[in-house]
Structure 1
């Protein structure tokens, strides 16, 4: 009988490789939607005033002022962000599931796994939150850089490329700037805590109805399970994304980029300020484009991941 260590190493490696590949494909396919969503989230408008005029107005404004390249601004840091994010996420997620007794792509359950094998929802919940927190902390600097890239005005270009952005932010604001918005990002772990347990349950439901294993589900079924779980999680946990974006795009006063004083000074203060100035709608700014972006993005990610895992596992 194979030992746990014999199983685990290739499973973790396969999960990381498949996750990175899925992140690469999805980031390229949906980058324009990510740019539009980020701009809608980042704008701060008072009751009754207007910023971008919705999705169509945002697209028109970007194309008019920046051209087609404007829709791919931040693609470099986006790819650099998605690759390690999904590689770390799926490696930790699959290994945690394996340890808790729900091994889908090989692996040998840990000692605790047999005791928890029937607690499927709890297993997926713990695995999703552990993986989400690990990926968020490890890749926070990359997402700060990506957000800065996407939201900088065309006539005030502060960063020429990813490395330049890293150096500029570090010199003018210090290392703490790379973890600005980390708290709402960690609270965003509630998103995957909703999404992935639901995704796994939907896969099991479809597989049971058809009398097959989950690894035999078609790409179309995986796409559907992903879309339904992502839409549910996005609507339920969206406000943290707006708060995180507002905190991430804000520079320190001495950097001389935005205002002389910081508008947002923490998670709670940012939430209160948005509610007072923009109403509850401010916490859902960009939701429509977020759904248009994240649902296909996540579906492409998970379909690519599942297909790659099947290929890597069956080698």
Structure 2
């Protein structure tokens, strides 16, 4: 198996990066799923709750409540579509990112580590992967927020696909795409900053070691998450709308209603949980990716 992987490089660079990205995303999604569930429920929790519904409070409080009320299955709701989503997302992203980085560097006659190249490549790759995989993220979000009080109750991923297609049509699978595309700015911050930090911290002529990769990826992810977090709250609210008339009539209307009803802090609901989940998850994903790429690139040496 290892020799087969190595034989993919250097002739099949895109396949190599696709395998590395998919493998890294799969490992990360399994480890961090409970925190993803908590973050999503906190994001989705608006001012107007159904009568008798108790509000989720904080990371630990939400974790313990889900465990108490729904058991281990509650903490892993949405894991199926999450894995199904992460596999193509990371595969598409890393493949597109590396391809765009090389193509743009050649077209713009700039060095491969240039800021402009990294930003354009990151945004192009992010928009591509987001658009292609948005239906899976809608399903994932709904599974993670699904409980006794929600209007939707899906038995599994196939049932969710069939139900959304029947009741909401193709548009239902693309709810929240606008905020997701705005969220492309997240990767445009994260990956250029990661690449620059890795260059700054790595001694000249040596490959980046594990500590440098973890430090660079964690710092860049934290900075990007804080800067762009509000789009996640808006996206979650839009994705979970199933009953018409919809409360939020698009991005700008959603921003207006959330601000008027809940204030500025509402745009950062679940951010603490998100940082607990995404910073180590991103570090693990990128480390796994870098190590897999390095292993695949050995060519049997």
TM over 0.5: yes
1:133 is aligned, of 127, 135, 138, to: 127
Alignment match, 1:225: 216
Q: Deviations over 1:28-65 (max 9, x none)?
A: 1111111111111111026xx98211112111210111
Alignment match, 2:111: 117
Alignment match, 1:198: 193
Q: Deviations over 1:228-260 (max 9, x none)?
A: 00000000000000000000011143xxxxxxx
Structure 2 contact 39–270 (Cα < 8 Å) conserved: yes
Q: Does 1:66 align with 2:70?
A: yes
TM-score with structure 1 length normalisation? 0.87
Q: Deviations over 1:102-143 (max 9, x none)?
A: xxxxxxxx4x26x11177111100110010000000000000
Alignment match, 2:47: 45
Change (3 A) 1:279 1:155: closer
1:311 is aligned, of 283, 295, 300, to: 295
Structure 1 contact 62–71 (Cα < 8 Å) conserved: yes
Alignment match, 2:145: 151
Change (3 A) 1:283 1:50: farther
Structure 1 contact 128–196 (Cα < 8 Å) conserved: yes
Alignment match, 1:93: 97
Alignment match, 2:205: 212
Segments of 5+ residues of structure 2 without an aligned counterpart are 1-7
Q: Deviations over 1:294-314 (max 9, x none)?
A: 001101110000000011111
Structure 2 contact 175–238 (Cα < 8 Å) conserved: yes
Alignment match, 1:275: 259
Structure 1 contact 8–95 (Cα < 8 Å) conserved: no
Structure 2 contact 101–112 (Cα < 8 Å) conserved: no
Change (3 A) 1:59 1:181: same
Spell out the pairing of 1:288-307 with structure 2 (5 A cutoff): 288-307=272-291
Moved over 6 A (4+): none
Segments of 5+ residues of structure 1 without an aligned counterpart are 1-5, 102-109, 254-260
Aligned-partner Cα distance in 1 for 2:298–2:34? 35
Structure 2 contact 10–297 (Cα < 8 Å) conserved: no
Change (3 A) 1:200 1:284: same
Change (3 A) 1:269 1:155: closer
Aligned-partner Cα distance in 2 for 1:244–1:274? 12
TM-score with structure 2 length normalisation? 0.91
Alignment match, 2:5: none
Structure 2 contact 9–296 (Cα < 8 Å) conserved: no
Shift, 1:265, TM fit = 1.2
2:27 is aligned, of 25, 28, 52, to: 25
Alignment match, 1:10: 12
